[in-house]
Structure 1
Amino acid sequence: MTRHMPISETQDAPPRRRITLPLAPPLEQRRLQLYIALLLLDGAAILNGFCIASWLYLGRFLDETSLLHSQVMLPIYWSIALSLQVYTLTALRRPNFARARAGLSLIGAETVLLFVGFATKSTDNFSRVSSLLGLGLSLVLLMWVRALVRPLIKARCGDAVTNTLLIDDGGTPLRIPHAYHIDAREHHLAPDLSDPHMMDRLGLYMMNMDRVMVSCPHDRRAAWALVFKSANVSGEIVDPEVNMLGVLGARRERGYGALIVASGPLGLRARAVKRLLDLALAGGAVLALGPVLLLVAVLIKLEDGGPVLFIQKRTGRGNRFFPIFKFRSMRVERLDSTGSRSASKDDDRITRIGRFIRSTSIDELPQLFNVLRGEMSIVGPRPHAIGSLAGEKLFWEVDHRYWLRHSLKPGLTGLAQVRGLRGATDTETDLANRLQADLEYLDGWTIWRDLKIIVNTARVLVHDRAF
């Protein structure tokens, strides 16, 4: 989704123009593609280096011993290269760093191979001249590969390789090379934790950003910190005193300092593992439960002729709205699009088939399609409607830490659900208990805990508070 926003004119500013949101393209997938391409190109460079050496010295391009040498070396090289950060952001940004680490990895792999060969008395099977020549040619080809892909890295990810957003909210003036600079007043941005629409707007500006910085007065730092922590970004608050004080846990760079307040709960590898688990489970569940989904859809349609699905706007990862899918369990004329009234045990809005599918959690099954679309995960904090109340207060009015739960994708089930914390939130305590479970889930994610929650969910599918 893109939106066009006007930029206000100042006395020295260029004519008014419009910008498209999100501000930047997503770079994470592009960087991953570059890492894979570099890994494969390094492998090709090593294989070709030894084959060319064999052709020059032995007259055979595909010499058996040279091929064996390079093939055994490759996994050793890749293992060392990964540990030496050959395929990292630093390597993409700094060509000299990448070349030096790739060269060290190659020499390290050859050293390991020679040690193993000496220990197993198998070095006599290899031509020493061909091996040394192959090592030298492989090193030259590795350096050439790095020079070859440099224009591609710039074309795909730009000079900085990351997206940085600097928001000026009335703090110390600052300019960052290759960053997107936004004046909060011109763009009507504020860390208003009581307004979900503003949080959605901020989420749109921060979308696809690897790093978001804000320069603001001291009294607005706490609000911005909560915004960053809930938005699944690496968030920083500019502080001119950081360099002088030498604060630990701060980012210190030339000309400015920033307190690091958020980095997102999951790294790239963890998100990839979690996404693969989601696709495998959601895809398998849709195929296995296809007849059930079809039967429930027919029964809902036959009961009153209304729509099969109930689609409601809810807050998801990064405080962004998304449409959640559920089987409709209430009468069409009594549907609650904002979720301001929680369902109760004897709720007169619920249909006959709706009462059954709610008590067995079957009404939640269409959310498997939200998982496949990437808007939800199998396990995570449950998404809430923006009008949901705990007692007489909106959820975020009870505790501003509520926004932190949006740093991960919402889930079909979660730690709060397997603990029996579901149903109506009649009191603020009901929300507080769920929030505590959600925050606990955010602290130290592992794939094993997700699997444990999925297994335990089977015990609470039918629940006395599922109405």
Structure 2
Amino acid sequence: MAMMDSVGFSAFDERPLPVSTTVTSAKEPAKALGGIAKRGLDILIAGTALTLLAPLFLLVAAAVKFASPGPIFYGHKRIGHGGASFRCWKFRSMVTDGDRVLEEYLAKHPDERDEWETTRKLRNDPRVTRIGAVLRAYSVDELPQLINVLLGDMSIVGPRPVVQDELDMYGEAAPLYLSTRPGITGLWQVSGRSDTSYDQRVALDTRYVQAWSLWSDLVIILRTVPAVISSKGSY
């Protein structure tokens, strides 16, 4: 902990976070943050988790298939290391005609359009199925991202994967986001999840990259378990 505190970051620090996103200029590195050590940890954890969780994968896949018409998995294009796009895989938690459902809902609830445009999330998302709501509450829908980790698109720990429109909201902090692989979990995940503002999410991602260490990754992984079990801030 002393090591992390010396650079202004502690994964155990529960004090309110500043929302400033001012960062020092930095050139995009040729290799992703953490190099071989971080990548090795990713492969070890993802490979082990996929093996141990295989029965859960089958159970969830069956539940998704029978809960509503459509595919079991959903792949959404996200921005990864260096600006490369990739398909971020999840268990499908929404109806298949989600775009239409969302637009109709926002047209009828203009007050919630502001929430959507500001955070890209809705507390009462009309697209989410019943089984999907349970999967999202406990982050089970994100388990297929372990495959993204093995493919090298993502890391176990990193910034929350974003689409291009969201990356534009990072402003001067965008180069720091692009310097690493987005993560299944991260400092945002263990610091309130959807209870944080978007500026705070950017500040969390910025802090994570600037103060990265293998130890901080391990701490965040350990803190993810109670954060997921409590389902606090999930929607």
| Bin of the TM-score, shorter chain as denominator length | 0.7 to 0.9
The question of whether the paired residues in 1 share the 8 Å contact of 2:32 and 2:181 is answered with no
The question of whether the paired residues in 1 share the 8 Å contact of 2:61 and 2:91 is answered with yes
What residue number does 1:434 align with?
Answer: 201
What residue number does 1:304 align with?
Answer: 68
Q: Deviations along 1:328-362, whole A, 9 cap, x unmatched?
A: 111001158xx978332222111010010000100
TM-score, normalised to structure 2's length? 0.75
Q: Deviations along 1:77-132, whole A, 9 cap, x unmatched?
A: xxxxxxxxxxxxxxxxxxxxxxxxxxxxxxxxxxxxxxxxxxxxxxxxxxxxxxxx
Which letter maps to 1:423?
S
Q: Deviations along 1:199-236, whole A, 9 cap, x unmatched?
A: xxxxxxxxxxxxxxxxxxxxxxxxxx96x63x334xxx
Shift of 1:434: 1.4
What residue number does 2:187 align with?
Answer: 415
Q: Deviations along 1:218-265, whole A, 9 cap, x unmatched?
A: xxxxxxx96x63x334xxxxxxxxxxxxxxxxxxxxxxxxxxxxxx67
What residue number does 1:406 align with?
Answer: 178
Question: Among 307, 316, 320, which residue is 2:84 paired with?
Answer: 320
Change (3 A) 1:273 1:397: closer
What residue number does 1:450 align with?
Answer: 217
Shift of 1:316: 0.6
What residue number does 2:231 align with?
Answer: 463
1:143-292 to 2 correspondences below 5 Å: 229=27, 231-233=28-30, 266=33, 270-292=34-56
Distance 1:274 1:319 in 2: 19
Which letter maps to 1:465?
G
Shift of 1:440: 1.4
Which letter maps to 1:406?
L
What residue number does 1:84 align with?
Answer: none
The question of whether the paired residues in 2 share the 8 Å contact of 1:326 and 1:363 is answered with yes
Which letter maps to 2:232?
D
Q: Deviations along 1:163-218, whole A, 9 cap, x unmatched?
A: xxxxxxxxxxxxxxxxxxxxxxxxxxxxxxxxxxxxxxxxxxxxxxxxxxxxxxxx
Q: Secondary structure at the match of 2:97?
A: helix
Distance 1:275 1:397 in 2: 27
Distance 1:282 1:294 in 2: 17
Shift of 1:417: 1.6
Q: Deviations along 1:274-318, whole A, 9 cap, x unmatched?
A: 111111100110011111111111111111231111111101100
What residue number does 2:165 align with?
Answer: 387
| Percent identity over paired residues | 39
Which letter maps to 2:188?
A
Q: Secondary structure at the match of 2:59?
A: helix
Change (3 A) 1:397 1:344: closer
Q: RMSD of the alignment, in Å?
A: 2.5
Shift of 1:397: 4.1
Distance 1:444 1:358 in 2: 29
Shift of 1:424: 7.5
Distance 1:291 1:398 in 2: 38
Which letter maps to 1:293?
F
Distance 1:398 1:275 in 2: 25
**Structure 1 unaligned blocks of 5 or more:** 1-224, 234-263, 389-394
**Structure 2 unaligned blocks of 5 or more:** 1-23, 101-115
Change (3 A) 1:333 1:324: same
What residue number does 1:343 align with?
Answer: 121
Distance 2:68 2:48 in 1: 31
Quick one: higher RCO (CA 8 Å, sep 6+), 1 or 2?
2
Which letter maps to 2:173?
R
Change (3 A) 1:371 1:397: closer
Question: Among 59, 81, 92, which residue is 1:295 paired with?
Answer: 59
Shift of 1:466: 0.9
Distance 1:287 1:381 in 2: 25
The question of whether the paired residues in 1 share the 8 Å contact of 2:161 and 2:182 is answered with yes
Change (3 A) 1:265 1:357: closer
Q: Secondary structure at the match of 1:332?
A: coil
Shift of 1:412: 0.7
Distance 2:55 2:212 in 1: 34
Distance 1:343 1:401 in 2: 21
Q: Secondary structure at the match of 1:292?
A: helix
Q: Secondary structure at the match of 1:433?
A: helix
Change (3 A) 1:464 1:379: same
Which letter maps to 1:400?
E
Distance 1:433 1:343 in 2: 15
The question of whether the paired residues in 2 share the 8 Å contact of 1:265 and 1:443 is answered with no
Which letter maps to 2:46?
A
Shift of 1:436: 1.4
What residue number does 2:110 align with?
Answer: none
Aligned pair count?
196
1:104-115 to 2 correspondences below 5 Å: none
TM-score, normalised to structure 1's length? 0.39
Q: Secondary structure at the match of 2:55?
A: helix
Distance 2:61 2:209 in 1: 35
Which letter maps to 1:287?
T
